[in-house]
Chain A
Amino acid sequence: MIRKIMHRPQAVLGLAMMLLVFLVMLLAPVFAPNDPMQLNVAHSFAPPDAQYPLGTDELGRCILSRLIYGARASLSIALPTLLLLAVISTVVATLCAYVGGALDRMFEVVSNIFMAFPPFLVAITLVGLFESKAASIVLSIVIAMWVWNARVVRTHVLRERNQPYVITCRMSGCSELRIVFRHIIPNILPHLLVLYSTGLSSIIIMISSYAFLGLGLETGTAEWGAMFVNANKLIFSHPLFLVYPGLCILFAAAGFNLFGEALRDICAPREG
């Protein structure tokens, strides 16, 4: 598996982009030339110079540092969201699909109802769930997306559970739990990785959309989507300020998508 990944330039590129984003997130204070929150109104809209490589915004904050810290803001919410999402959808879907029968039929009906709502609609509706804005974003995205992921996981579990090896295991006296955790989940793991790798990119986009709508984190947080707050004025005076954060989102999301899609091709080769 790992060798297959290493032989695909697309997967390697995606992986490198992912690693770079993680690195920027972890080492933001090292990379950032200035404090992203440092206000300096006298120094607003400064042109790029040695101290502020990309210039400053309307409050005199360093643009580059805010972009770098943006990776931190975005991923520090996206990763817990993904973790929670992965656990919930995998557990629910595996349970329903493996047990089958009435439980699975119930899941079908319930999931049809949950899937009547486009995820982003649910996510923004639920945004005021908690006092903590970060926790609300995490939970609202999980509630919005779990069913879409669970449906995919369920398909994979359903396909595996009647495979001869499962029946053989059962005959040789494996416990059901062991079958699920030692055999089925490892077998569908590559598919899950595809799902969650591309899922992370949509979570990153969703988080930036929240911030763009002003429903996101605390005001002033260095976040990519939040940098569009005054976009309607900036578009005439400083259009580059709208280009940078978008490129950051593109870079981060494309890294996860490239990797995920390459993995998908490895699991189920695309014809051609």
Chain B
Amino acid sequence: MSKRILARLGLLIVVLFGVTVLTFFYTNLSPVDAAEALAVRRYNRPTAQQVELVREELGLDQPILQQYGSWLWNALHGDFGNSYNTGRPIVEELTAAIRPTLVMAAMALLFATLISIPLGVLSASRKGGLSDRSIYLFGIICMSLPNYWIGFMLLLAFAVYLPIFSIMGADSLKDFVLPALALAIPMAAGNIRVFRSSLLDGYNSDFVLYARARGVSEWKIANLVSRFALPPLITMLAQSFGFMIAGSAMVESVFSIPGLGSMLVTALGARDTITINACVLLTAVIFVLVNFIADCVNAFLNPQNQKGGGL
């Protein structure tokens, strides 16, 4: 198993390196001229000379490879530079912004788990029945809803009509309940389906038949099956964690939460490429790491059932 994990660690490093390249490529793909944008902010109507001056100051006049090199080198040392927009160090802004987003996404992950495990079990145990079919329909509706709309509807129901929650703010854990639900609900559909079908696969497999024939207790069988059925769900949940961080942009805007998503949207509006870089890189790194952790957990849960596959 340690060999497997080592091999994955190697792939992880390759992927992380690729992620830095691709992040830099994505932000440089757009024709947006950050130097010009900053010059406009600074001088209002900049002359060509002033734009060049800003470009030199930002180091954007250097060859692209050199720009990438120095950006990567500094990023590895925890320095993302200063925001073109606010002038403050990006690391400071990132640490402030990542906290609410992570709290929200972690809570959403909890909700997604709490929704998908019982519903998955219910729908597998009553397969073909009314509850199975209603859960299926519920899943289809969930995956057809934009998370920001769920957010507004939750606000409308539980903050405007029934004032249980406050309409904005990110101070106490309670403020994160509605945003986390809005993030979790669209994710639940896929998770329920995956868990349902792997539970059914598990219960229909030969080892369960054999265990039953030997008179193993149902409780032990459930334990066996869950070892078999949980890995796909864990993979899905890990992936949805990353999707939820990316989707936080909309939900944060609904609930006025100053998180990573809002930071990215502000930076996009201000053409603040260096901040965009940092936000995208951070989200991708979190995504990759969470998937990696899920892989390791799965390898631990079910050591045999491991075929190739990526991160």
Q: Name the one of A117, A127, A129, A272 contacting B22, with C-beta atoms under 8 angstroms.
A: A117
Could you tell me if A121 and B156 are in contact, using CB atoms closer than 8 angstroms? no
> B240 — nearest CB in chain A belongs to which residue?
A118
Could you tell me if A121 and B284 are in contact, using CB atoms closer than 8 angstroms? yes
Could you tell me if A258 and B140 are in contact, using CB atoms closer than 8 angstroms? yes
User: Size of chain B's interface in residues, with CB distance under 8 A?
Assistant: 57
Could you tell me if A116 and B268 are in contact, using CB atoms closer than 8 angstroms? no
Assuming A112-B15, A118-B245, is B31 touching A128 (CB within 8 A)?
Answer: yes
Q: Chain B 184-204 against A: per-residue CB contact (8 Å), 1 yes, 0 no?
A: 000000000000010010001
Residues of B within 8 A of A119 (CB): 246
Could you tell me if A116 and B284 are in contact, using CB atoms closer than 8 angstroms? yes
Residues of B within 8 A of A239 (CB): 156, 160
Residues of A within 8 A of B18 (CB): 109-110, 112-113, 116
User: Size of chain A's interface in residues, with CB distance under 8 A?
Assistant: 52
Q: Chain B 124-150 against A: per-residue CB contact (8 Å), 1 yes, 0 no?
A: 000110001000000011011110110
Could you tell me if A118 and B287 are in contact, using CB atoms closer than 8 angstroms? yes
Please classify the interface of chain B as helix (H, G, I), strand (E, B), loop, or mixed, using the class held by over half of its residues. helix
Residues of A within 8 A of B242 (CB): 118
Indicate whether B265 reaches chain A with its CB closer than 8 angstroms. yes
Bound Cα distance A228, B149 (Å): 9
Assuming A109-B14, A112-B311, is B30 touching A213 (CB within 8 A)?
Answer: no
Bound Cα distance A207, B19 (Å): 25
> A231 — nearest CB in chain B belongs to which residue?
B152
Q: Chain B 153-166 against A: per-residue CB contact (8 Å), 1 yes, 0 no?
A: 10110001000000
Residues of A within 8 A of B30 (CB): 125-129
Could you tell me if B144 and A250 are in contact, using CB atoms closer than 8 angstroms? yes
Q: Chain A 240-255 against B: per-residue CB contact (8 Å), 1 yes, 0 no?
A: 0011011001100110
Indicate whether B283 reaches chain A with its CB closer than 8 angstroms. yes
Could you tell me if A213 and B141 are in contact, using CB atoms closer than 8 angstroms? no
Could you tell me if A212 and B143 are in contact, using CB atoms closer than 8 angstroms? no
Looking at the assembled complex, report how far the CB atom of A143 sits from the nearest CB atom of chain B, in whole angstroms. 8
Minimum-distance CB pairs A-B, first 8: A113-B18, A272-B127, A253-B144, A118-B246, A246-B149, A254-B144, A121-B246, A272-B128
Beyond A109-B18, A242-B152, 9 additional pairs, beta carbon < 8 A: A112-B15, A117-B22, A117-B287, A121-B280, A126-B29, A129-B29, A205-B144, A249-B146, A254-B141
Contact sample, A vs B, 7 pairs, CB 8 Å cutoff: A117-B283, A124-B265, A125-B268, A126-B29, A130-B31, A239-B156, A250-B145
